[in-house]
Amino acid sequence: MYNIKAYSAASATSPLASDRISRRETTERDVQIEILFCGICHSDLHTVRNEWSSIMPTAYPCVPGHEIVGRVTKVGSAVTKFKPGDLAGVGCLVDSDQTCPNCKAGLEQLCPNQTLTFNSPDKHLGGITYGGYSESIVVDEHFVLRVPSNLNLAGVAPLLCAGITTYSPMRRWGDLKGKKVGVVGLGGLGHMGVKFALAFGARVVVFTTSPSKKEDALRLGANEVIISSNPEEMQKHAGSFDFILDTIAASHDINAYINMLAHDGNITLVGAPEKPLAVSAFALLFGRRSLSGSVIGGIAETQEMLDFCGKHGITSDIELIKIQDINEAYERMLKSDVKYRFVIDMASLKV
Ligand code: NAP
Ligand code: ZN
């Protein structure tokens, strides 16, 4: 074991603060990575504040962070994909049983025995796993991703969660070329959803609660922007969408968006609000519409997404912060005041 600097929360009501944690020595299958950048996902905030207590209660101290990019510093003897000096990424998963049918199908995100990057039982050291708000991480090579070298590294970090979470359900839906796609909520996930939907050839409409984001959404390439609090704007588009991706992090009226779907349209939830959403049966029945959920993506699909981003020059629009400003960043994220992902420059942790 070795000891490193990290930022952790001591309880659901504590701010994040400087701490020290242990990492395991690299086993033969492990890759040790010096973390250069870590994105801030709304899931970090949900977890730190124990907002998902009924599904996955938070164990403290909690070190969040699952949008990790860095440089390989050491590899175990059986590692073949990486060598010291390589760039590497780590997302939301650091382990799974790799024997269940889901793992065999490349769906590690659905493995019943998966280990999340933070707040999951740690098979190696006991206790729980600690995430990317830290100097380094040690991960089984199967869960380490290759990072395209032509992209801005800080802008790549959010691809490891916000990227794959939006890429995967759109790919799964089918060919989006020429389809009418809605993206609800223009935050970290939402702005990546817009970029992917456009790259897949869709006609993209953004639903936002923030009139101030309208210009940005158009600059990102959205064909139209709807201010969701305006009933006339909403009514104009009722019954017209093939696919909608809902990224909202808080309680909201999902029926308003189900009613935007054409017949046989699908709305996929990726946002994970703390409280259950009330779904109108009639909104689904009349129109034969469907409601689905989706969680990140498998490892092979995450690599496919990163390679796609490398080929198409896609990164996240980020605001780079020092780790000392993390608590303020959380408050701004809660106010939907982030354009469009905070990324921590991990050099600031060394100060
Ligand atoms: P984020 O950057 O905070 O963006 C969420 C956006 O939702 C906000 O920017 C805002 O967009 C909109 N919004 C927030 N509060 C709202 C409210 N009360 N009513 C309506 N709209 C509201 O968060 P994120 O990192 O993108 O994450 C979004 C959600 O996805 C979180 O719940 C997170 O835990 C979850 N998540 C799920 C997965 C998965 O695998 N399924 C992966 C990562 C994250 P506007 O200002 O445009 O309205
Ligand atoms: Zn995330």
Alpha helices per DSSP H over the chain? 42-48, 101-104, 153-156, 162-173, 188-199, 214-220, 231-236, 255-258, 281-285, 299-312, 326-334
pLDDT of amino acid 167: 98
Closest C-alpha among 138, 136, 144 to residue 20: 136
Q: State yes or no: pLDDT of 316 exceeds 90.
A: yes
- In SS3 terms, 155-198 reads as HHHHHHCHHHHHHHHHHHHCCCCCCEEEEECCCHHHHHHHHHHH
Cβ atoms within 10 Å of 153's Cβ, excluding its own: 18
Closest C-alpha residue for ligand 1 atom 11: 185
pLDDT of amino acid 35: 98
Measured from the CB, is residue 336 less than 6 Å from ligand 1? yes
Point out the ligand 1 atom lying closest to the alpha carbon of residue 210: 46
Measured from the CB, is residue 210 less than 6 Å from ligand 1? yes
3-class secondary-structure state, position 254: coil
286-300 pLDDT, tens digit each = 999 999 999 999 999
Q: How far is the CA of 269 from the centre of ligand 2 (A)?
A: 14
Point out the ligand 1 atom lying closest to the alpha carbon of residue 189: 26
Closest C-alpha among 315, 312, 172, 330 to residue 245: 172
162-201 pLDDT, tens digit each = 999 999 999 999 999 999 999 999 999 999 999 999 999 9
Q: State yes or no: pLDDT of 351 exceeds 90.
A: no
Residues whose Cβ atom is located within 5 A of ion ligand 2: 41, 43, 161
Residues in the chain: 351
Question: What is the Cα–Cα distance from 199 to 218, expressed in whole angstroms?
Answer: 15
Measured from the CB, is residue 183 less than 6 Å from ligand 1? no
Q: How far is the CA of 336 from the centre of ligand 1 (A)?
A: 8
pLDDT over 90, % of the chain: 100
200-253 pLDDT, tens digit each = 999 999 999 999 999 999 999 999 999 999 999 999 999 999 999 999 999 999
Measured from the CB, is residue 89 less than 6 Å from ligand 1? no
261-287 pLDDT, tens digit each = 999 999 999 999 999 999 999 999 999
Measured from the CB, is residue 66 less than 6 Å from ligand 1? no
pLDDT of amino acid 74: 98
- The CA distances from residue 244 to 55, 188, 207, in Å, are 25, 16, 10
Q: How far is the CA of 189 from the centre of ligand 1 (A)?
A: 7
Q: For the full predicted model, state whether its pTM sits above 0.85.
A: yes
Closest C-alpha among 21, 158, 146, 142 to residue 79: 142
Arithmetic mean of pLDDT over the chain? 97
Burial string for 42-52 (b: 16+ CB within 10 Å, else e) reads: bbbbbbbbbbb
Largest Cα separation within the chain, whole Å, is: 63
Q: Which ligand is nearest to the CA of 274?
A: 1
103-143 pLDDT, tens digit each = 999 999 999 999 999 999 999 999 999 999 999 999 999 99
Reading phi first (left if > 0) and then psi (alpha if -120 to 50, else beta), residue 267 is in beta
For range 343-347, the mean pLDDT: 98
Question: What is the Cα–Cα distance from 147 to 305, expressed in whole angstroms?
Answer: 10
What tokens appear for 233 in the block? 């704007």
Measured from the CB, is residue 188 less than 6 Å from ligand 1? yes
Point out the ligand 1 atom lying closest to the alpha carbon of residue 296: 40
Cα–chain center distance at 327: 19
pLDDT over 70, % of the chain: 100
